[in-house]
Amino acid sequence: MIRRGAGIRMREAGCGLARLLFVALLAAALLMLLAPYAYRALFTDKPVLFGEETYYHVRIARQILQGAIPASDALIYNSRPYFFGPFHVVLAYLSAPLGITLASVLLPVLLGLLSLAFFYLVLGRFGILGAKRLLICALLVASPAFISTFSQPNPHALAILLYLSGFYAILRRQVLIGFVVLVATLLFGLFNSLLLLVLLLAHYTVQDRKKLVLLSVFSLVFISAAAYYLLGLGAAIPESSFGSLVSDLGGNGFGIFTFILMAAGLVFSWKERYGYVIPYCLLLFLSTYVFFNGGFAMAYLGFVVAVFSGLGLYRIASAGWNLPVVKQLTLLLIVCGLAFSTVSYVGRLANSGPGAEVVSSLSWLREQETGLVFSHYQNGFWIEYFSGKPVLLDGFLVNDLRKRYGDMQEILYSRNIERTARLLERYNVKYIYIDESMKKGRVWWNDDEGLLFVLRNREYFRKVYGTMQVQVWEYRKE
């Protein structure tokens, strides 16, 4: 009896310590997510909100706050239908008492902390406990994908929370609540419907095969419904490359050490592969999606990668090594390497655009006559937000994307004035907006390339705004 009592007390003490460590991890996550904002507010003259897509969501939330849910987005050539997204509504409602900027900062951070908590609980349900669970969560918090997703307002932050909380409810056998929450994720787009299908199929393949057939029919009905009106719309322009996966190579994914640890985790977990069917299926689906479509799926992939890299790190740290000195050195390197990737990424976010020059130039443009602004599509959201003028393309899909994207490229790279003028006429372009990033490799390297060369023609173009970093040209129609 005495022994048993001591064991229970020890277990309780262990649980207490684990909880305490988890609270510390939540605090670390909070600091990590707020760090870019703090840096921008205290040490730079840049606007507090950063990122490109951020300004789209803030603009839509502001429109909802000011009136009703918009039917279309007029700040893009030929306008784009707006499909209802729950994130914008939540952001709008939170903005009413807090103001749009504060709400845009706090909402993703709050969603991140809640997601982390549910992730912690889900891991527990799978029997991943103690140091292993804490390591996985710590690696998640340190991953650039997590920081990127939950430090900027975006719908995926809310979708992830819904997945985790819904799935946790299902694991706790509160199936109805779980399904209701999970079904809400269908409102986020076709990708989310597919992800839900993969998640549930993987889960019921392991748990209960009888429910599998029912689930498949149920899911297909929902996916068909979702596909009907969400197909492709509202999703970002795909930009896939392996480099964008690696944060140390300028991407938004994961540090190089996380990849090495993940590889180790995959090798080590293979012996117990039947216990990891769900993360394997999600890894396969998400990495395929990231490879072909890039971008936003990284937010979801971050959780799966954290599972495997955490397993890898746990195994490396807990196993007995033939060369103990090498083990200590390796662990030291891993900690330093992970910290380096994280700090470096947070610094990059803090220094990312838009800069003060971009804001002042676009605010100036707001005061000018209305007209379509041509620029690189990655500047689109900023132009829409700060100047209130329509653009040819922004980061989201449009119906005639291929043609419009091709024409944008043609205008940017052609040195033929007649061809450029014809395309500018076709889209009724009035202003051409060029910033530093376009001249430093995003579009051109040399000042006599493509459009930069064509702009020398005074007959067609007039510079109406110019600083070291930004130029705005007016196109004089024939």
Partner 1 sequence: MKLNMKLKLRPEYVLLVAVFLASLASRLFVAFGTPNFSYDAYFQLGQVESIRATFLPSFSRLFYSPHPFMPLFHYVLAFFSLFAPLHAVLKVVPNILASSSVFLAYLVSFEMTKDKAAALFSAASVGFVPVFIFSTANTLSPYALAVPLMLALVYFFLRIGENRFVALFVVFLFALVFTHPSALLFVSGLLLYVLVLYVLGAKSSRSELEIMLFSVMASIWIVFLFFKEALLAHGFSVFWQNIPGDVLAEFSGFSVFDAVFRIGLLTFIAGIFVTYRYVFEERRRDVHVVISLSLMVLALLALKLVKLDAGLMFLGVFLAVMSGEAYRSFFEYLGKSKAARMLPAVSVLLASVFILTSVAPSLLYRQSQSGEVPTSGELAAFEWLKNVSSEASVVFSDVNEGHLVVAVSGRRNFVDSNFLLSHDIGQRLSDMEKLYTAKSQITALQIMDSYDLSYIVVTDRALARRNVLSLSYVASCFSVVFEGEDTVIYEPLCRVSS
DSSP for 9-78? HHHHHHHHHHHHHHHHHHHHHHHHHHHHHHHHHHH-SS-S--SSHHHHHHHHHHHHHHSS--SEE-SBTT
List CB contacts of 279: < 8 A, sequence separation 6 or more. 304, 307, 308
Instruction: Using the minimum distance from each CB to partner 1, give the nearer residue, 5 or 441.
Output: 441
Rounded Cα distance, 128 and 125, in Å: 7
Instruction: Using the minimum distance from each CB to partner 1, give the nearer residue, 66 or 446.
Output: 446
Can you tell me whether residue 204 is helix, strand or coil? helix
Rounded Cα distance, 7 and 467, in Å: 71
Q: To the nearest whole angstrom, how small is the minimum distance from the Cβ of residue 326 to partner 1?
A: 5
Q: To the nearest whole angstrom, how small is the minimum distance from the Cβ of residue 243 to partner 1?
A: 4
Can you tell me whether residue 240 is helix, strand or coil? coil
Sheet holding 429-435, edge to edge: 372-374, 429-435, 470-475, 461-466
Instruction: Using the minimum distance from each CB to partner 1, give the nearer residue, 83 or 321.
Output: 321
| Structure token digits, residue 405 | 């994207």
Residue 294 phi, psi dihedral angles, 5° rounding = 65, -170
Q: To the nearest whole angstrom, how small is the minimum distance from the Cβ of residue 190 to partner 1?
A: 29
Instruction: Using the minimum distance from each CB to partner 1, give the nearer residue, 105 or 262.
Output: 262
Instruction: Using the minimum distance from each CB to partner 1, give the nearer residue, 274 or 445.
Output: 445
Q: To the nearest whole angstrom, how small is the minimum distance from the Cβ of residue 449 to partner 1?
A: 9
3-state DSSP helix/strand/coil percent for the chain, to nearest 5? 70, 5, 20
Instruction: Using the minimum distance from each CB to partner 1, give the nearer residue, 292 or 321.
Output: 321
Q: To the nearest whole angstrom, how small is the minimum distance from the Cβ of residue 282 to partner 1?
A: 26
Nearest to 309 by CA among 257, 272, 245: 257
Q: To the nearest whole angstrom, how small is the minimum distance from the Cβ of residue 453 to partner 1?
A: 13
Instruction: Using the minimum distance from each CB to partner 1, give the nearer residue, 102 or 263.
Output: 263
| CB-based burial, 261-283: b 16+ in 10 Å, e otherwise | bbebbbebbeeeeeebebbbbbb
Q: To the nearest whole angstrom, how small is the minimum distance from the Cβ of residue 416 to partner 1?
A: 20
Nearest to 83 by CA among 96, 73, 98, 75: 73
Q: For residue 471, with 0-12 CB atoms within 10 Å meaning exposed, 13-18 middle and 19 or more buried, which class applies? A: buried
Instruction: Using the minimum distance from each CB to partner 1, give the nearer residue, 211 or 327.
Output: 327
Instruction: Using the minimum distance from each CB to partner 1, give the nearer residue, 83 or 291.
Output: 291
Instruction: Using the minimum distance from each CB to partner 1, give the nearer residue, 193 or 342.
Output: 342
Contact 111, 154 (CB under 8 A): no
Rounded Cα distance, 284 and 292, in Å: 12
Q: To the nearest whole angstrom, how small is the minimum distance from the Cβ of residue 32 to partner 1?
A: 20
Residue numbers of the site for partner 1 (CB under 8 A)?
Answer: 241-243, 246, 248-251, 256-257, 260, 264, 316, 321-323, 325-327, 329-330, 333-334, 336-337, 340, 344, 348, 440-441, 445-447
Count of CB atoms situated within 10 Å of the CB of 383: 27
Q: To the nearest whole angstrom, how small is the minimum distance from the Cβ of residue 321 to partner 1?
A: 5
Q: How far apart are the first and last CA of the chain?
A: 96
Residue 246 phi, psi dihedral angles, 5° rounding = -100, 115
The alpha-carbon radius of gyration of the chain (Å, integer) is 25
CA–CA–CA angle 328, 305, 53 (5° rounding): 125
Q: To the nearest whole angstrom, how small is the minimum distance from the Cβ of residue 348 to partner 1?
A: 8
Q: To the nearest whole angstrom, how small is the minimum distance from the Cβ of residue 358 to partner 1?
A: 19
Instruction: Using the minimum distance from each CB to partner 1, give the nearer residue, 211 or 315.
Output: 315
